[in-house]
Structure 1
Amino acid sequence: MRVTDPAGLATDLARRIRRRWRAEVQAIGATGSLAHADDREGTDLELIVATYRPGTGPAPMRRRVDGHLVSIEVAASPDLLARARQLTTLWPLRADRFLHLRPLDEDSDWLPSVRDAHLARLTDATPREFSELARDAWCTADSLLARAVQAGQWHDEDSALLLLAEARIAAAVTDGLLTRTYFRNSADAARRTGVVGLDLVELRDRVRLQAAELEKRGRPVDVPLAELL
């Protein structure tokens, strides 16, 4: 298996895309390690291709190329801007790709508008909006944790371990929403929030603390049916 320089490979790929779809492609950028300039041998390459119109440009793909896993996301520029303006429960894991988008060719001057659109949305976001997103993420963490406990009681250790790992990430995402903190990826989220290695009891305590914080911010996570709607 031949392993090439990731930055050089990304630049060469962008050049080929530009050459073949020049009339359709508005900008080409990289996210992840390339955008943070900490790429190394074997780094995954994550490219975003913005087109002028939907359904044009290269096809989205995920392939192994010269020792690197290459992912190409293709979206019309209005759609990409719309995504940058959205806040969802997965914001802590997705914001980085909007805020750190590295141009891969000289024709990609449009890319900073993605960052600007996301920053403008964050400026408009209220504390209550983030609290509501955190409440949704908390429900996911609590549900996954309950299922992990149940799997353990049934002696299904494989399922319990998988569910526990997912519950840790959901708890990390909840922390990110409570503190308006975004992460590079799931591993970064788990490491920075301290959920790595937490067992079922320790994670349950963390989730309970999150529930108490959410109650302070407006209403409890467990409400009577009459207060649901």
Structure 2
Amino acid sequence: MSARSEPAGVDRGLDDRRWTVAERVAEAVRRRFPADALAIAVHGPLAHGDDDGGGNGEAGMLVVTYRPGTGPPPATRRVDGVLVDLTVAAAEDYLAQARVLSPLWPLTADRYVTTQALHDPTGWLRTLRDEHLGRLARARPAEFSAAARQAWYRGSAAHSRAARLAEWYETDQALLMLGEARLAAATVTGLLSRTYFRDPGDAVRRTGLAGADMTEVSVVLARQAEELAARGRAVDGTIEDLLTA
């Protein structure tokens, strides 16, 4: 029996193949690894309860094990037309990840905060959420600014690379690098405002960077550099700064 609870007002009929496949995967994991699976959950659109129900797309799943190196291997496969992305992690390792405030925090936090259980007899997923929220409550503003500066460097490097590729008429590669610059700039915004996103697409949409051209991304990066400097995390520095950071 699935441990999943239905969000109010959401009707997931039996034709929702993503949920059907996710539940079948959970049942198979419990059957094949009964002594290893501490919790099984979905994340992403399925966990948010606003999946479009179209029967295609991806089912993001998490299997939490009692010990490292047990349970099924992490894998991605298409099952009955549904792309299943299976993350497998030991409980303590995943809790440790949830306590880290990295430059990618705006893109990873949702996995710790928003899940729907398919198997969670001990309430471990609540522990995961509480650990992450507790870490955020203890975080100092300087930690977010430091992580934002690292994300800014990634965005600036991607933007510079995109500009050079455009000059060389390497249009396809330039567009790819511009996409990376947009996403990095979006994560900077997320870190400076303590906002996390559901996925990369959500990040660039909510920050107004979806479709931003080279000049527009440059303006955003310049504005972010000014804000970081005002917060005491200037992106420019001396060699001494580099060696003592």
* Aligned equivalents of 1:158, 1:164: Cα separation in 2: 10
- The answer to whether the 8 A contact 1:214-1:220 is kept is yes
SS at match of 2:196: coil
- The alpha-carbon distance between structure 1 residues 12 and 129, as it changes in their structure 2 partners (threshold 3 A), is same
Determine helix, strand or coil for the equivalent of 2:38: strand
2:62 aligns with 48
Tell me, in whole angstroms, the C-alpha distance in 2 between the residues paired with 1:106 and 1:165: 37
Q: Is the 8 A contact 1:33 1:43 kept in 2?
A: no
- Given candidates 174, 177, 192, the residue that maps to 2:191 is 177
Residue in structure 1 matching 2:21, options 9, 17, 26: 9
Over the matched positions of the two proteins, sequence identity in percent amounts to: 47
1:35 corresponds to: 47
Give the distance between the partners of 2:119 and 2:241, measured in 1 at CA: 53
Q: Distance in 2 between matches of 1:17 and 1:73?
A: 12
Matches within 5 A, 1:59-208: 59-105=73-119, 107=121, 109-208=123-222
Distance in structure 2 (CA, Å) of the matches to 1:23 and 1:219: 48
Aligned-residue CA RMSD in angstroms?
Answer: 1.3
Structure 2 length-normalised TM: 0.89
Distance in 2 separating the partners of 1:155 and 1:190: 25
* Structure 2: gaps of 5 or more residues: 1-14
- Report the secondary structure of 2:124's partner residue: coil
Q: Give the AA of the match of 1:195.
A: L
Equivalent pair of 2:40/2:120 in contact (CA under 8 Å): no
CA distance 1:166–1:18, shift in 2 (3 Å)? same
Which position in structure 2 is the counterpart of 1:217?
Answer: 231
**Contact (CA 8 Å) 1:4, 1:66: kept in 2 or not?**
no
Judged with a 3 Å threshold, the aligned counterparts in structure 2 of structure 1 residues 92 and 219 are, in CA distance, closer, same or farther, namely closer
Count of residues in correspondence between the two structures? 227
Please give the alpha-carbon distance, in whole angstroms, between the structure 2 residues aligned to 1:163 and 1:58. 35
